Amino acid sequence: MEFTKTRQPLRGEITIPGDKSISHRAVMFGAISDGTTEITNFLQGADCLSTISCFRKMGIEIENTPDRILVHGKGLHGLKAPEEILDAGNSGTTTRLISGILAGQNFSCELTGDASIQKRPMKRIITPLSMMDASIESIRGNDCAPLRIHGHRLHAIHYLSPVASAQVKSCVLLAGLYGDGKTSVTEPALSRNHTEIMLRSFGASLSSSKTTVSILPEPKLTGQKIQVPGDISSAAYFIAAGLIVPGSEILIKNTGINPTRDGILRVCSAMSADITRLNERTSGGEPVADLLVRYTPSLKGCVIEGDIIPSLIDEIPVIAVLAAYADGTTIIRDAQELKVKESNRLDIMVHHLSAMGADITGTDDGMIIHGGKSLKGAILDSFLDHRIAMSFAIASLAAEGATSITNAECVNISYPEFYEDLRRLTSCAAQH
Ligand code: S3P
């Protein structure tokens, strides 16, 4: 599939689909709980469907209906050995979190994923799980998937993680449920805390202080009702579109604004963006708001570095687009993790924004963008990375001339209705 630029500006209301990280966790924790977990506003993206498919292969009955998901949990020790290889598709969250659960089972299995997953670093989970006495190996010996995991009783550890990664933290905490004592993880900066919030609601004994989280092994978790808030990482594309396309005004409803995820809002405020938070409330234990976004002709460049990075790691591609349309210089540092996402997002952003005429230079751990140049359309490939496809769909809206994005269908990973929502908001504006 190819995307070609739609009309602009964008006006109207949009309800963002469910949060990807929270949807994965609701299925996983439901599967290892006693009783039924009911999930509403579940993200029906390919990544979350991979998580469902893995647990079905381990004997968990999961009903997927249009208005809710029912996970019939079998308890911490109720999973059965899969008869086939578990396939995590494109999903790093599935691969890394499920490994923590598999390490504590009483069976062996293999876990793999698509070509992108088979290149992403798994040493970051192999190291702590091995310290917990798990048997986990990279089958090709390259520290990537496919992985072979022989589950058994685990040893509790205090792990000092070299990366601020919620996937690593969650993997170790889930393995800690099967440990022989208190397991703790300390990370260099606080990463998203959805695992902590949700595992507590399922009955786990968890304590957190600054960047350390500890968990005790549990005899049991109990199924819950989870209402998944809208994904701020998906809202980010419409936030950016509203800010850069002249004449736009969008109400983005039901957006998760957990402080470990709201870095993009803090950056927008540093850029003097016109965004108002309305109707702040809680949904499924997570803070949520509606965001009113208005075109801002005078966005300002800013410096983005340090502890804020984990709270906006998935939004950096679209923040780079914002920076290209802002006045002045934006410097992004400490973002080397971008190189090991679904694609090398640092290199691709620098390449594609340059192709559109932006003044952007890549650095070892980020990029420097001198904004305010007028951008022109280009033919760009998504490299099968959903966040690259969506970032350039947005960049094209305020550029001169046509942009085509090839392999554009990969938005199915996290936001299947993205192009439909974009068309709806632009045709709203056409009728205005
Ligand atoms: C995620 C954590 C982040 C993020 C990913 C989802 C999660 O990855 O980039 O899209 O659900 O825990 P890292 O933990 O590798 O930073």
Q: 142-162: per-residue pLDDT in tens?
A: 999 999 999 999 999 999 999
Identity (one letter) of the amino acid at 347? D
Q: What is the pLDDT of residue 431?
A: 63
CA of 144 to the centre of ligand 1 (A): 17
- Is ligand 1 within 6 A of the CB of residue 224? no
User: Does the pLDDT of residue 6 top 70, yes or no?
Assistant: no
Asked if 201 and 173 touch (Cβ cutoff 8 Å), the reply is: no
Query: Which atom of ligand 1 lies at the shortest distance from residue 124's CA?
Result: 15
Q: What is the pLDDT of residue 284?
A: 79
> Average pLDDT in the 81-91 region?
98
Determine whether 314 is an active site residue: yes
CA of 91 to the centre of ligand 1 (A): 10
Query: Phi/psi at 205 (nearest 5 deg)?
Result: -95, 105
User: Does the pLDDT of residue 348 top 80, yes or no?
Assistant: yes
Residue 54: closest CA among 113, 105, 107: 113
Confidence tier at 427 by pLDDT (50, 70, 90)? confident
For the chain, percent of residues with pLDDT exceeding 90: 95
Residue with the larger pLDDT of the pair 285 and 144: 144
User: Does the pLDDT of residue 242 top 90, yes or no?
Assistant: yes
Query: Which atom of ligand 1 lies at the shortest distance from residue 20's CA?
Result: 11
CA of 22 to the centre of ligand 1 (A): 11
Q: What is the pLDDT of residue 164?
A: 98
> Average pLDDT in the 217-226 region?
94
> Average pLDDT in the 198-227 region?
96
Catalytic position from the list 314, 381, 385, 421: 314
User: Does the pLDDT of residue 120 top 60, yes or no?
Assistant: yes
User: Does the pLDDT of residue 3 top 90, yes or no?
Assistant: no
CA of 427 to the centre of ligand 1 (A): 33
Confidence tier at 190 by pLDDT (50, 70, 90)? very high
**Distance separating alpha carbons of residues 158 and 185, to the nearest angstrom:** 6
Q: What is the pLDDT of residue 364?
A: 98
pLDDT in tens, 28-38: 999 999 999 99
Query: Which atom of ligand 1 lies at the shortest distance from residue 97's CA?
Result: 12
> Average pLDDT in the 302-325 region?
98
> Average pLDDT in the 157-171 region?
98
**Distance separating alpha carbons of residues 178 and 32, to the nearest angstrom:** 11
Q: What is the pLDDT of residue 4?
A: 75
Q: What is the pLDDT of residue 297?
A: 96
Count, residues in the chain? 432
Asked if 327 and 297 touch (Cβ cutoff 8 Å), the reply is: no
**Distance separating alpha carbons of residues 24 and 86, to the nearest angstrom:** 15
**Distance separating alpha carbons of residues 317 and 32, to the nearest angstrom:** 35
Longest CA–CA separation in the chain, Å? 63
Query: Which atom of ligand 1 lies at the shortest distance from residue 165's CA?
Result: 14
- Is ligand 1 within 6 A of the CB of residue 234? no
> Cα–Cα distances in Å, from 254 out to 66, 283, 414?
19, 9, 17
Q: What is the pLDDT of residue 145?
A: 98
Sequence-separated (6 or more) residues with CB below 8 Å from residue 219: 76
- Is ligand 1 within 6 A of the CB of residue 23? no
Confidence tier at 1 by pLDDT (50, 70, 90)? confident
User: Does the pLDDT of residue 429 top 70, yes or no?
Assistant: no
- Is ligand 1 within 6 A of the CB of residue 26? no
Q: Average pLDDT over the chain, rounded to whole?
A: 96
**Distance separating alpha carbons of residues 27 and 348, to the nearest angstrom:** 32
> Average pLDDT in the 402-423 region?
96
Q: What is the pLDDT of residue 184?
A: 98
Q: What is the pLDDT of residue 399?
A: 95
User: Does the pLDDT of residue 432 top 80, yes or no?
Assistant: no
User: Does the pLDDT of residue 428 top 80, yes or no?
Assistant: no
* CA 154 remoteness from chain centre: 28
> Average pLDDT in the 39-67 region?
97
Q: What is the pLDDT of residue 7?
A: 56
Asked if 270 and 32 touch (Cβ cutoff 8 Å), the reply is: no
Strand order, beta sheet including 274-283: 11-15, 249-256, 286-294, 274-283
Q: What is the pLDDT of residue 47?
A: 98
Asked if 3 and 393 touch (Cβ cutoff 8 Å), the reply is: yes
CA of 130 to the centre of ligand 1 (A): 21
Query: Which atom of ligand 1 lies at the shortest distance from residue 168's CA?
Result: 14
CA of 211 to the centre of ligand 1 (A): 16
3-class SS letters over the chain: CEEECCCCCCEEEEECCECHHHHHHHHHHHHCCEEEEEEECCCCCHHHHHHHHHHHHCCCEEEECCCCEEEEEECCCCCCCCCCCEECCCCHHHHHHHHHHHCCCCCEEEEECCCCHHHCCCHHHHHHHHHCCCEEEECCCCCCCCEEEECCCCCCCEEECCCCCHHHHHHHHHHHCCCCCCEEEECCCCCCCHHHHHHHHCCCCEEEECCEEEECCCCCCECCEEECCECHHHHHHHHHHHHHCCCCEEEEEEEECCCCCCHHHHHHHHCCCEEEEEEEEEECCEEEEEEEEECCCCCECCEECHHHHHHHHHHHHHHHHHHHHCECEEEECCCHHHHHCCCCHHHHHHHHHHHCCCEEEEECCEEEEECCCCCECCEEECCCCHHHHHHHHHHHHCCECCCEEECHHHHHHCCCCHHHHHHHHHHHHHHC
Confidence tier at 8 by pLDDT (50, 70, 90)? confident
Q: What is the pLDDT of residue 219?
A: 84
Task: Out of 43, 313, 387, give the residue to mutate to test ligand 1, the one with the largest number of ligand atoms within 8 Å of its CB.
Answer: 313
**Distance separating alpha carbons of residues 119 and 359, to the nearest angstrom:** 30
Q: What is the pLDDT of residue 144?
A: 98
